[in-house]
A and B are shown apart, each in its own frame.
Chain A
Amino acid sequence: MRNKIMLTLMMIMSMLSGVEAGTVENLERVRAKTITMMFDKNINESQRAEKIEKLKIKLLDMEKIVLNDSNLAKNPTNKTIKAFETFNFTFLVHSALEKDKPISINWLEDLGFTSDNLKRTQAYRK
């Protein structure tokens, strides 16, 4: 009898609990945090470098988890498909390590903001 009650309670609890976040969503959260940190005006350079370094390790773990998550292949969402198609933007640490560049520079370069491009830009009034 007690077992039955416990089982029913567990079932109700599982129904009430929120949807569990996927590995891709977790990665996205940390990734967004890292990018925010890159442009945070309220901290100085050394603080930024320290915080990004810490986030880098966390991000690395999250990236590895997503890359090795075999459950994703079963029924991938559009978000997941897109995430894997744009490797350089999704897996920031991996992409940066591949090119031996800091995360922020690598990310900006992938977006098209290279030093050369920026030097060549001209400010003019329309």
Chain B
Amino acid sequence: MKNKLLNFALIKFFLILGSSQAIANLSDGEWQPQIVEKMYILPPKQLDRVLNNDFRNSSLYLNLKTADDKIKSRYSKIDQLNKSIPQFKGDEQIELKHQVIVEKKEYITDMSERLKIKREHLLTKKRFFEKIKRKTLFQKGNQNFTTQSQFQASREKALQRSKKLDKKISNLLIGNNMSNNSKYFSEYQKTMLAMQKLETKIKSHPKFQENDLLLNSENKLESLNVFIDKLESELSVLALKEQVLTKMAKLVSLDAMELADSLQINISQGNEFKDVNDPTDSVNLFLN
């Protein structure tokens, strides 16, 4: 009897806490990407890889892993309890049902924590990519409008013009037997030849052909947009999962209510209450 009352009190307690704890504010750990600015020039795909490695070293990841482990163990516990309920009757069955409700409530709490950590992870990642996008846009803007870029353009033009003349200069120096007089040009030619070989090799490299993002800011922006869109869709999926979790919490609350009600019925059946202040209940006294 005492046991039943205790169970009833506990169920009522969890009933109150049940749904509110699904959106509880728990400490989730921290993740601040520790990526040096030099890496920002990497193509977004590689940057994502670096970012994921960085995340693995954070306390946020540690908490995510802990939450994952907790959820796994809770899931198997709930499954076991659900399977064993039909094998028992009476108080033991009620106790098992109570255990299931408690475990479900904990499962929802852990899952909510996990979703919160995941959201924080995705938001940090999104903020990071948006920062790089802003930088790329800024650089692109600079390239188009500053005087420095105008100078860069005229320098590029001059370099192209001069490169076209390299063969002519070489012929001129060899023809006039003056190649020894020009120290810089002969060294320059050697270096250019070596660089040309390297450039040909780089251009034929499969990874280079796969993405020319290092050189093309337009492509980099597009790729960053794809990444940000992907992260946004993942965040939307998380919002949907949170809705599922709210429904789960509601169901657990209803289960708890049902169990509480069934316990109350049992208590009132075992303890038929007579109100002596009511004359109709006291009639029997006068009939004897």
Binary CB contact string for chain A from 36 to 55 against chain B (1 if under 8 A, 0 otherwise)? 00000000000000000010
| Chain A positions within 8 Å of B151 at CB level | 73, 76, 80-81, 84
Say whether, besides A73-B152, A76-B148, A68 and B158 are in contact (CB < 8 Å). no
| Chain A positions within 8 Å of B148 at CB level | 73, 76
| Chain A positions within 8 Å of B173 at CB level | 57
Q: CA A80 – CA B147 in complex, angstroms? A: 12
Number of interface residues of B (CB under 8 A): 25
| Chain A positions within 8 Å of B164 at CB level | 98
Is B165 in the interface zone, CB < 8 Å from A? Answer: yes
Number of interface residues of A (CB under 8 A): 21
Enumerate A50-86 residues with CB–CB distance to B below 8 Å: 54, 57, 60-61, 63-65, 67-68, 72-73, 76, 80-81, 84-85
Partner of A60, one of B155, B157, B158, B185: B185
Enumerate B211-237 residues with CB–CB distance to A below 8 Å: none
Enumerate A1-47 residues with CB–CB distance to B below 8 Å: none
Contact across chains for A81 and B147 when beta carbons are under 8 A apart: yes
Is B183 in the interface zone, CB < 8 Å from A? Answer: yes
| Chain A positions within 8 Å of B155 at CB level | 67, 72-73, 84
Contact across chains for A97 and B169 when beta carbons are under 8 A apart: yes
User: What are 6 A-B pairs at a CB distance below 8 A?
Assistant: A64-B188, A76-B151, A80-B151, A94-B161, A94-B162, A94-B165
Seen from chain B, the residues whose Cβ lies within 8 Å of a Cβ on chain A are: 147-148, 150-152, 154-155, 157-159, 161-162, 164-165, 168-169, 172-173, 178, 181-185, 188
The 10 A-B residue pairs with the shortest CB-CB distance in the complex, in nearest-first order: A61-B184, A84-B154, A76-B151, A57-B181, A81-B151, A67-B162, A57-B182, A97-B165, A84-B155, A87-B158
Seen from chain A, the residues whose Cβ lies within 8 Å of a Cβ on chain B are: 54, 57, 60-61, 63-65, 67-68, 72-73, 76, 80-81, 84-85, 87, 91, 94, 97-98
Q: A61-B185, A76-B148 are in contact. List 7 more A-B contacts (CB 8 A).
A: A63-B162, A64-B185, A67-B158, A68-B188, A84-B151, A87-B157, A91-B158
